[in-house]
Amino acid sequence: MVGQNCWMTKSQQSYPTDLNDTQWLKIRTYLPAQAQTGRPREHSWRIILNSIFYILQGGCAWRMLPKEMPPWKTVYHYFRLWRKDGTWERINRLLREKVRLKFGKKRQASASILDSQSAKTSEGGSERGFDAGKKVTGRKRHTLVDTLGLILKVVVTAGNVQDRDGAKSLLEKISTEQHVIKRLELIWADGSYRGELITWVEVMLGWKLEVVEKPKDQNGFQVLPKRWIIERTFAWLVRQRRLARDYERLPETSEAFIYVAMIRLMLRRLATN
């Protein structure tokens, strides 16, 4: 029943990916309100979210949702609707602000880190290309995070899109979101972003792009200042089986799943003391 789904306690969770009561309380106010007219909703938002989190973590196809969950077409409908109307990105922003406040930060970031992650794709789908640097056929996740590793913006492109071009697309989009970048001043990045992009960022956006270079005498792997933060974020993402490989036909769907992954991570952060 809907009431039972809404107030399921931790001990009653069917799957490890299900929201517990504390996590549910942290997110429910950000979900769309019940329509005042029309047919009442059959399934609670909580069970819809649990189903989407199951898909994300388990990596299965929509049609393979367990039968005790809502019909897969219903779950997919809300996932797609919230992708198209910006709900996933909005919830990501609101929860990020709460996490930042919890860790003693301002709501908005003044510094960020920029990088891309390549992911193999399945055979179908649009926006697919060969990343010659990583020797991967698939897509790139151009990502900007704050100093806690929380995502400010992600843009998914074909794998053959250069990092500098993907960064321009990402930064142009986020530059219109004043509720996200009002305090932003500094972006750290690796050597692939050097050159004309540094000037473009300063002239067009008024920010400073600072390249964090590898030490000249580096031998083997070494943690680099600031850049390790976004590498950790990429590691968080690929722990979700749906994101270990890009199975989506549309890059916008890939972006939505990345925001869902961060929402789930931040809910766990907010639910702990």
- Residue 210 in any domain: the answer is yes
How many whole angstroms from its chain centre is CA 239?
A: 13
Task: Verify that 44 and 119 share a domain, yes or no.
Answer: no
At residue 220, the pLDDT reads 58
- Integer CA distances (angstroms), 179 to 65, 95, 176, 183, in order: 36, 13, 9, 9
Asked if residue 206 and residue 147 are part of one domain, the reply reads yes
Same domain for 167 and 238, yes or no, is: yes
67 assigned to some structural domain: yes
Q: How many domains does the chain have?
A: 2
70 lies in the same domain as 187 = no
Task: Tell me, yes or no, whether 150 and 229 share the same domain.
Answer: yes
Cβ-based neighbour number of residue 154 at 10 Å: 26
Q: Please tell me the predicted confidence (pLDDT) of residue 257.
A: 98
Mean pLDDT for 67-82 is 96
Identify whether residues 128 and 211 lie together within a single domain. yes
> How confident is the model over 103-118, as pLDDT tens digits?
999 999 999 999 999 9
Strands (E), 93-194: 111-120, 129-131, 136-146, 151-158, 186-189
Residue pair 244/143 in contact (Cβ under 8 Å)? The answer is: no
Task: Look up the domain containing 55 and give its range.
Answer: 2-31+40-84
Are 158 and 240 in the same domain?
yes
What pTM was computed for the model? 0.91
| Cβ within 8 Å of residue 260, ≥6 positions away | 52, 53, 56, 79, 88
CATH code of the domain containing 151: 3.30.420
**For residue range 198-239, what is the model confidence (pLDDT) as tens digits?**
999 999 999 999 998 876 766 655 567 789 999 999 999 999
**Residue 153 contacts residue 144 (beta carbons within 8 Å):** yes
Angstrom distance (rounded) from CA 78 to CA 63: 15
- Same domain, residue pair 46 and 117: no
Write out the two tokens for 151.
């995502």
Task: Kindly tell me if the per-residue pLDDT of 91 is higher than 50.
Answer: yes
In a domain, 260, yes or no: no
Helix (H) / strand (E) element for 48: namely helix 45-58
Domain-located, residue 74: yes
My answer on whether 112 and 239 are in the same domain is: yes
Residue 217: predicted pLDDT: 67
